[in-house]
Amino acid sequence: MAVVAPNRDAAPNGERSRGRSGRGVEVSPEARIVQLTDQLHAVLEGAISSPGRWHQLLDTSATLWRYSGGNVALLMAQREMLGLQPPTLVAGYREWQRHGRTVFKGEHALWVLAPRTARKDSQLSEATVGDKVDGRGAEPPVADSGTDRKIVGWRGQAVFDVSQTEGEPIYVPRPGVGMTNIPAGLWEALVEAAERRRFVVDVSDNQRSMSSGYTDFADRRIQVGAWLGREDAAAVLVHELGHVYLHGPHDKVGKLYGSGLQHRGLAEVEAESVAYTVLRAHGIDRGSQSSSYLAGWADRVIDVERAGKSGTGEPAGHLTRMDVARSTLGRVTATCRDILEITRPAGAGGKLTALQSSLVDVGLDSRPMAVAPRPAALRAN
Protein backbone atom coordinates (compact mmCIF):
# COMPACT_ATOMS: atom_id res chain seq x y z
CA MET A 1 0.00 0.00 0.00
CA ALA A 2 1.37 3.40 -0.92
CA VAL A 3 2.46 5.57 1.97
CA VAL A 4 1.52 9.22 1.75
CA ALA A 5 3.73 11.75 3.48
CA PRO A 6 2.59 15.15 4.65
CA ASN A 7 3.52 18.09 2.47
CA ARG A 8 6.60 19.81 3.90
CA ASP A 9 6.86 22.81 1.60
CA ALA A 10 3.45 24.40 1.89
CA ALA A 11 2.79 27.73 3.54
CA PRO A 12 3.18 27.94 7.34
CA ASN A 13 0.20 27.36 9.63
CA GLY A 14 -2.43 30.00 9.14
CA GLU A 15 -2.06 30.31 5.35
CA ARG A 16 -5.10 29.00 3.53
CA SER A 17 -3.00 27.27 0.90
CA ARG A 18 -1.77 24.54 3.21
CA GLY A 19 -3.61 21.24 2.80
CA ARG A 20 -6.72 22.87 1.35
CA SER A 21 -8.51 22.71 -1.94
CA GLY A 22 -9.08 25.69 -4.23
CA ARG A 23 -12.29 26.35 -2.26
CA GLY A 24 -10.47 26.45 1.10
CA VAL A 25 -11.81 23.03 2.22
CA GLU A 26 -9.45 20.90 4.28
CA VAL A 27 -8.11 17.93 2.28
CA SER A 28 -6.30 14.97 3.84
CA PRO A 29 -3.03 13.76 2.28
CA GLU A 30 -4.70 10.55 1.13
CA ALA A 31 -7.62 12.41 -0.42
CA ARG A 32 -5.17 14.79 -2.09
CA ILE A 33 -3.49 11.90 -3.93
CA VAL A 34 -6.86 10.59 -5.13
CA GLN A 35 -7.89 14.09 -6.21
CA LEU A 36 -4.69 14.66 -8.16
CA THR A 37 -4.88 11.24 -9.81
CA ASP A 38 -8.46 11.85 -10.93
CA GLN A 39 -7.45 15.26 -12.25
CA LEU A 40 -4.57 13.76 -14.19
CA HIS A 41 -6.83 11.14 -15.75
CA ALA A 42 -9.28 13.83 -16.82
CA VAL A 43 -6.53 15.78 -18.58
CA LEU A 44 -5.26 12.67 -20.35
CA GLU A 45 -8.76 11.70 -21.46
CA GLY A 46 -9.07 15.05 -23.20
CA ALA A 47 -5.56 14.97 -24.63
CA ILE A 48 -5.83 11.52 -26.17
CA SER A 49 -9.04 12.29 -28.07
CA SER A 50 -8.32 15.85 -29.19
CA PRO A 51 -5.22 16.81 -31.22
CA GLY A 52 -5.69 20.43 -30.14
CA ARG A 53 -5.76 19.43 -26.48
CA TRP A 54 -2.66 17.28 -26.95
CA HIS A 55 -0.78 20.24 -28.40
CA GLN A 56 -1.89 22.48 -25.53
CA LEU A 57 -0.30 19.96 -23.21
CA LEU A 58 2.87 19.97 -25.31
CA ASP A 59 2.92 23.79 -25.28
CA THR A 60 2.92 23.75 -21.48
CA SER A 61 5.56 21.02 -21.48
CA ALA A 62 7.78 23.24 -23.62
CA THR A 63 7.76 25.84 -20.83
CA LEU A 64 7.85 23.43 -17.87
CA TRP A 65 10.16 20.90 -19.50
CA ARG A 66 12.03 20.10 -16.29
CA TYR A 67 8.82 18.62 -14.84
CA SER A 68 7.37 15.19 -15.48
CA GLY A 69 4.58 14.94 -18.00
CA GLY A 70 2.03 14.11 -15.33
CA ASN A 71 2.91 17.12 -13.22
CA VAL A 72 2.83 19.38 -16.28
CA ALA A 73 -0.70 18.15 -16.94
CA LEU A 74 -1.72 18.78 -13.33
CA LEU A 75 -0.27 22.29 -13.24
CA MET A 76 -1.95 23.21 -16.53
CA ALA A 77 -5.33 21.84 -15.40
CA GLN A 78 -5.29 23.63 -12.04
CA ARG A 79 -4.49 26.98 -13.62
CA GLU A 80 -7.23 26.46 -16.20
CA MET A 81 -9.76 25.83 -13.44
CA LEU A 82 -8.95 29.31 -12.13
CA GLY A 83 -9.25 30.85 -15.61
CA LEU A 84 -5.52 31.61 -15.70
CA GLN A 85 -2.71 31.05 -18.18
CA PRO A 86 -0.38 28.05 -17.64
CA PRO A 87 2.39 28.61 -15.08
CA THR A 88 5.87 29.64 -16.18
CA LEU A 89 8.05 29.29 -13.08
CA VAL A 90 6.94 27.39 -9.97
CA ALA A 91 8.45 26.65 -6.58
CA GLY A 92 7.44 25.82 -3.03
CA TYR A 93 6.52 28.45 -0.46
CA ARG A 94 9.82 28.36 1.38
CA GLU A 95 11.86 28.17 -1.81
CA TRP A 96 10.29 31.44 -2.97
CA GLN A 97 11.18 32.92 0.41
CA ARG A 98 14.81 31.87 -0.02
CA HIS A 99 14.84 33.84 -3.28
CA GLY A 100 13.43 36.97 -1.68
CA ARG A 101 9.81 36.59 -2.75
CA THR A 102 6.68 35.76 -0.77
CA VAL A 103 3.37 34.29 -1.82
CA PHE A 104 0.45 36.74 -1.89
CA LYS A 105 -1.76 36.38 1.16
CA GLY A 106 -4.71 34.10 0.49
CA GLU A 107 -3.19 32.39 -2.58
CA HIS A 108 -4.10 28.75 -3.07
CA ALA A 109 -1.32 26.31 -3.86
CA LEU A 110 -0.92 24.39 -7.07
CA TRP A 111 -0.31 20.72 -6.38
CA VAL A 112 2.02 18.21 -7.98
CA LEU A 113 2.74 14.57 -7.21
CA ALA A 114 6.15 13.73 -5.75
CA PRO A 115 7.53 10.27 -5.01
CA ARG A 116 8.42 9.26 -1.48
CA THR A 117 11.54 7.10 -1.57
CA ALA A 118 13.65 4.93 0.71
CA ARG A 119 16.83 2.93 0.40
CA LYS A 120 16.10 -0.48 -1.04
CA ASP A 121 17.62 -2.14 2.02
CA SER A 122 16.06 0.13 4.64
CA GLN A 123 12.80 1.25 6.17
CA LEU A 124 10.88 4.34 5.05
CA SER A 125 13.07 7.44 4.85
CA GLU A 126 12.61 11.14 4.28
CA ALA A 127 10.77 11.91 1.03
CA THR A 128 12.73 13.14 -1.92
CA VAL A 129 11.38 14.67 -5.10
CA GLY A 130 12.39 13.42 -8.52
CA ASP A 131 11.07 14.05 -12.01
CA LYS A 132 12.40 11.22 -14.10
CA VAL A 133 9.60 9.66 -16.09
CA ASP A 134 8.98 5.98 -16.54
CA GLY A 135 8.10 4.74 -19.99
CA ARG A 136 4.90 3.21 -18.63
CA GLY A 137 3.55 6.20 -16.74
CA ALA A 138 3.34 9.95 -16.57
CA GLU A 139 4.74 10.16 -13.06
CA PRO A 140 8.39 9.95 -11.99
CA PRO A 141 9.96 6.85 -10.50
CA VAL A 142 13.22 6.90 -8.61
CA ALA A 143 16.38 7.23 -10.69
CA ASP A 144 17.29 4.58 -13.24
CA SER A 145 19.76 1.70 -13.07
CA GLY A 146 22.42 2.01 -10.41
CA THR A 147 20.19 3.64 -7.82
CA ASP A 148 19.89 2.21 -4.34
CA ARG A 149 16.50 3.80 -3.72
CA LYS A 150 12.92 2.70 -4.36
CA ILE A 151 9.51 4.35 -4.41
CA VAL A 152 7.51 3.60 -1.27
CA GLY A 153 4.60 5.98 -1.82
CA TRP A 154 3.46 9.33 -3.16
CA ARG A 155 2.71 12.70 -1.65
CA GLY A 156 1.18 15.94 -2.78
CA GLN A 157 3.58 18.86 -2.92
CA ALA A 158 2.36 22.46 -2.89
CA VAL A 159 3.94 24.91 -5.32
CA PHE A 160 3.16 28.45 -6.49
CA ASP A 161 3.67 30.17 -9.83
CA VAL A 162 5.78 33.32 -9.99
CA SER A 163 2.59 35.30 -10.72
CA GLN A 164 1.38 34.34 -7.24
CA THR A 165 4.37 35.97 -5.55
CA GLU A 166 5.80 39.40 -4.85
CA GLY A 167 9.11 40.75 -3.59
CA GLU A 168 12.63 40.76 -5.00
CA PRO A 169 12.44 41.31 -8.78
CA ILE A 170 13.82 38.44 -10.82
CA TYR A 171 14.80 38.05 -14.44
CA VAL A 172 12.93 35.25 -16.16
CA PRO A 173 14.39 34.62 -19.64
CA ARG A 174 11.85 33.32 -22.13
CA PRO A 175 12.19 32.24 -25.76
CA GLY A 176 10.46 34.42 -28.32
CA VAL A 177 7.73 32.12 -29.59
CA GLY A 178 7.08 32.57 -33.29
CA MET A 179 10.71 33.16 -34.28
CA THR A 180 11.35 32.96 -38.00
CA ASN A 181 14.92 31.68 -37.66
CA ILE A 182 16.36 28.92 -35.55
CA PRO A 183 18.45 30.17 -32.61
CA ALA A 184 22.21 30.27 -33.06
CA GLY A 185 23.83 27.02 -32.06
CA LEU A 186 20.64 24.93 -32.06
CA TRP A 187 21.64 22.80 -35.04
CA GLU A 188 25.05 22.08 -33.54
CA ALA A 189 23.44 21.18 -30.20
CA LEU A 190 21.04 18.77 -31.90
CA VAL A 191 23.96 17.14 -33.68
CA GLU A 192 25.66 16.79 -30.29
CA ALA A 193 22.53 15.12 -28.91
CA ALA A 194 22.76 12.59 -31.74
CA GLU A 195 26.46 12.03 -31.17
CA ARG A 196 25.89 11.35 -27.50
CA ARG A 197 23.76 8.43 -28.65
CA ARG A 198 26.59 7.44 -31.02
CA PHE A 199 24.67 8.44 -34.15
CA VAL A 200 26.17 10.37 -37.07
CA VAL A 201 24.13 13.12 -38.74
CA ASP A 202 24.48 13.05 -42.50
CA VAL A 203 23.12 15.97 -44.55
CA SER A 204 22.91 14.74 -48.11
CA ASP A 205 20.80 14.59 -51.26
CA ASN A 206 20.02 10.92 -50.67
CA GLN A 207 16.34 10.23 -50.25
CA ARG A 208 14.52 7.19 -48.92
CA SER A 209 10.81 6.54 -49.44
CA MET A 210 10.16 10.19 -50.39
CA SER A 211 11.11 11.28 -46.88
CA SER A 212 13.07 14.35 -45.83
CA GLY A 213 14.94 12.35 -43.23
CA TYR A 214 15.29 8.89 -41.78
CA THR A 215 17.11 6.99 -39.05
CA ASP A 216 19.24 3.93 -39.79
CA PHE A 217 19.72 2.03 -36.53
CA ALA A 218 22.00 -0.56 -38.11
CA ASP A 219 24.51 2.05 -39.31
CA ARG A 220 23.69 4.44 -36.44
CA ARG A 221 23.08 7.26 -38.88
CA ILE A 222 20.49 10.04 -39.21
CA GLN A 223 20.02 11.35 -42.72
CA VAL A 224 18.62 14.86 -43.28
CA GLY A 225 17.82 16.21 -46.74
CA ALA A 226 20.32 18.77 -47.99
CA TRP A 227 17.53 20.57 -49.89
CA LEU A 228 15.78 21.66 -46.69
CA GLY A 229 15.92 25.16 -45.21
CA ARG A 230 17.53 25.61 -41.77
CA GLU A 231 14.29 25.47 -39.79
CA ASP A 232 12.92 22.48 -41.69
CA ALA A 233 16.26 20.70 -41.37
CA ALA A 234 16.29 21.29 -37.60
CA ALA A 235 12.70 20.03 -37.37
CA VAL A 236 13.58 16.86 -39.28
CA LEU A 237 16.66 16.27 -37.16
CA VAL A 238 14.85 16.60 -33.83
CA HIS A 239 12.04 14.37 -35.15
CA GLU A 240 14.60 11.70 -35.99
CA LEU A 241 16.17 12.19 -32.57
CA GLY A 242 12.78 11.26 -31.16
CA HIS A 243 13.10 7.93 -32.96
CA VAL A 244 16.69 7.50 -31.80
CA TYR A 245 15.77 8.07 -28.15
CA LEU A 246 12.52 6.08 -28.19
CA HIS A 247 12.25 3.53 -30.95
CA GLY A 248 15.49 1.58 -31.11
CA PRO A 249 15.51 -2.22 -31.42
CA HIS A 250 16.24 -2.62 -27.69
CA ASP A 251 13.48 -0.33 -26.42
CA LYS A 252 11.37 -2.65 -24.24
CA VAL A 253 8.31 -0.40 -24.09
CA GLY A 254 8.57 0.59 -27.73
CA LYS A 255 8.49 -3.07 -28.75
CA LEU A 256 4.87 -3.15 -27.67
CA TYR A 257 3.61 -0.23 -29.73
CA GLY A 258 6.44 1.89 -31.12
CA SER A 259 8.76 -0.23 -33.21
CA GLY A 260 6.33 -2.85 -34.45
CA LEU A 261 4.99 -2.33 -37.95
CA GLN A 262 1.43 -2.47 -36.66
CA HIS A 263 2.03 0.63 -34.55
CA ARG A 264 4.48 2.63 -36.59
CA GLY A 265 2.02 5.49 -36.69
CA LEU A 266 2.11 5.84 -32.91
CA ALA A 267 5.89 6.01 -33.09
CA GLU A 268 5.46 8.91 -35.52
CA VAL A 269 3.10 10.65 -33.08
CA GLU A 270 5.75 10.33 -30.38
CA ALA A 271 8.60 11.55 -32.59
CA GLU A 272 6.58 14.47 -33.93
CA SER A 273 5.51 15.40 -30.39
CA VAL A 274 9.17 15.47 -29.37
CA ALA A 275 10.00 17.69 -32.34
CA TYR A 276 7.09 20.04 -31.66
CA THR A 277 7.96 20.43 -27.96
CA VAL A 278 11.71 20.87 -28.37
CA LEU A 279 11.27 23.48 -31.11
CA ARG A 280 8.57 25.25 -29.12
CA ALA A 281 10.92 25.46 -26.12
CA HIS A 282 13.37 27.22 -28.44
CA GLY A 283 10.75 29.69 -29.63
CA ILE A 284 9.83 27.98 -32.90
CA ASP A 285 6.11 27.33 -33.30
CA ARG A 286 5.47 25.13 -36.32
CA GLY A 287 1.89 24.37 -35.35
CA SER A 288 0.47 20.91 -35.61
CA GLN A 289 2.62 19.20 -38.21
CA SER A 290 1.11 15.76 -37.69
CA SER A 291 -2.33 14.69 -38.86
CA SER A 292 -2.13 11.53 -36.76
CA TYR A 293 -4.59 11.19 -33.90
CA LEU A 294 -3.21 9.71 -30.73
CA ALA A 295 -6.59 8.11 -29.98
CA GLY A 296 -6.66 6.26 -33.29
CA TRP A 297 -3.26 4.73 -32.80
CA ALA A 298 -4.01 3.91 -29.17
CA ASP A 299 -7.06 1.95 -30.30
CA ARG A 300 -4.98 0.02 -32.81
CA VAL A 301 -2.53 -0.87 -30.05
CA ILE A 302 -5.40 -2.13 -27.90
CA ASP A 303 -6.82 -4.19 -30.78
CA VAL A 304 -3.51 -5.97 -31.29
CA GLU A 305 -3.09 -6.45 -27.55
CA ARG A 306 -6.52 -8.01 -27.30
CA ALA A 307 -5.54 -10.39 -30.07
CA GLY A 308 -2.76 -11.57 -27.77
CA LYS A 309 0.20 -10.18 -29.66
CA SER A 310 2.51 -7.24 -29.25
CA GLY A 311 4.52 -5.67 -32.04
CA THR A 312 7.08 -8.48 -31.53
CA GLY A 313 4.56 -11.31 -31.62
CA GLU A 314 4.89 -11.90 -27.87
CA PRO A 315 1.96 -12.00 -25.44
CA ALA A 316 1.02 -8.53 -24.27
CA GLY A 317 -0.54 -7.18 -21.10
CA HIS A 318 -3.93 -5.56 -20.82
CA LEU A 319 -3.90 -1.98 -22.09
CA THR A 320 -6.40 0.85 -22.10
CA ARG A 321 -6.41 4.21 -23.85
CA MET A 322 -5.28 5.71 -20.56
CA ASP A 323 -2.28 3.37 -20.40
CA VAL A 324 -1.20 4.41 -23.89
CA ALA A 325 -1.76 8.11 -23.21
CA ARG A 326 0.21 8.04 -19.95
CA SER A 327 3.04 6.09 -21.54
CA THR A 328 3.20 8.36 -24.57
CA LEU A 329 3.18 11.51 -22.46
CA GLY A 330 5.84 10.13 -20.13
CA ARG A 331 8.11 9.00 -22.95
CA VAL A 332 7.75 12.26 -24.89
CA THR A 333 8.41 14.57 -21.94
CA ALA A 334 11.35 12.49 -20.68
CA THR A 335 12.93 12.53 -24.13
CA CYS A 336 12.37 16.26 -24.51
CA ARG A 337 14.04 16.86 -21.17
CA ASP A 338 17.09 14.81 -22.21
CA ILE A 339 17.41 16.75 -25.48
CA LEU A 340 16.73 20.17 -23.95
CA GLU A 341 19.36 19.57 -21.27
CA ILE A 342 21.80 19.54 -24.20
CA THR A 343 20.32 22.28 -26.39
CA ARG A 344 19.69 24.63 -23.41
CA PRO A 345 16.80 26.89 -24.48
CA ALA A 346 16.23 30.24 -22.80
CA GLY A 347 14.30 29.85 -19.58
CA ALA A 348 14.51 27.65 -16.51
CA GLY A 349 12.19 24.87 -17.63
CA GLY A 350 9.70 25.91 -14.97
CA LYS A 351 12.00 25.30 -11.98
CA LEU A 352 13.30 28.11 -9.84
CA THR A 353 16.36 26.07 -8.90
CA ALA A 354 17.47 26.11 -12.56
CA LEU A 355 17.00 29.85 -13.03
CA GLN A 356 20.56 30.97 -12.26
CA SER A 357 22.12 28.51 -14.71
CA SER A 358 19.68 29.62 -17.38
CA LEU A 359 20.82 33.22 -16.91
CA VAL A 360 24.41 32.15 -17.51
CA ASP A 361 23.40 30.15 -20.59
CA VAL A 362 21.83 33.17 -22.28
CA GLY A 363 24.74 35.42 -21.35
CA LEU A 364 22.96 37.49 -18.71
CA ASP A 365 24.00 38.48 -15.25
CA SER A 366 21.53 38.55 -12.37
CA ARG A 367 19.91 41.78 -13.54
CA PRO A 368 16.34 41.81 -12.23
CA MET A 369 13.19 42.14 -14.23
CA ALA A 370 10.14 43.21 -12.29
CA VAL A 371 7.41 40.61 -12.25
CA ALA A 372 4.11 42.45 -12.52
CA PRO A 373 1.79 41.63 -9.58
CA ARG A 374 -1.66 40.34 -10.24
CA PRO A 375 -4.41 42.92 -10.14
CA ALA A 376 -5.95 43.06 -6.68
CA ALA A 377 -9.32 41.99 -8.06
CA LEU A 378 -7.86 38.64 -9.07
CA ARG A 379 -6.32 37.83 -5.71
CA ALA A 380 -8.06 35.60 -3.23
CA ASN A 381 -9.67 37.42 -0.32
User: Could you report the per-residue pLDDT of 314-328, keeping only the tens digit for each?
Assistant: 545 557 888 888 888
Average pLDDT, the chain: 75
pLDDT 10s digits, 33-73: 888 888 888 898 888 878 788 888 999 999 999 999 999 99
DSSP track, 48-73: HH-HHHHHHHHHHHHHSTTS-HHHHH
Contact 168, 373 (CB under 8 A): no
**DSSP E strand stretches across the chain:** 90-91, 101-103, 110-119, 149-161, 165-167, 200-204, 213-216, 221-225
Q: Is residue 140's pLDDT more than 80?
A: no
The bridge status of strand 110-119 relative to strand 101-103 is unpaired
The bridge status of strand 213-216 relative to strand 200-204 is unpaired
Which neighbouring-strand residues pair with 165?
A: 103
- Residue 178: its pLDDT value, please? 56
d(CA 258, CA 250): 11
User: Comparing 52 with 305, which gets the higher pLDDT?
Assistant: 52
User: Comparing 117 with 133, which gets the higher pLDDT?
Assistant: 117
Quote the pTM value.
Answer: 0.77
- Residue 277: its pLDDT value, please? 93
pLDDT 10s digits, 228-259: 988 899 999 999 999 999 888 777 655 655 44
Helix (H) or strand (E) holding 85: none
pLDDT 10s digits, 17-33: 444 444 555 778 788 88
d(CA 366, CA 202): 40
Mean pLDDT value of segment 7-20: 45
- Provide CB contacts within 8 A for 190, sequence distance 6+: 201, 234, 237, 238, 241, 339, 343
CA distance from start to end of the chain? 39
Contact 111, 157 (CB under 8 A): yes
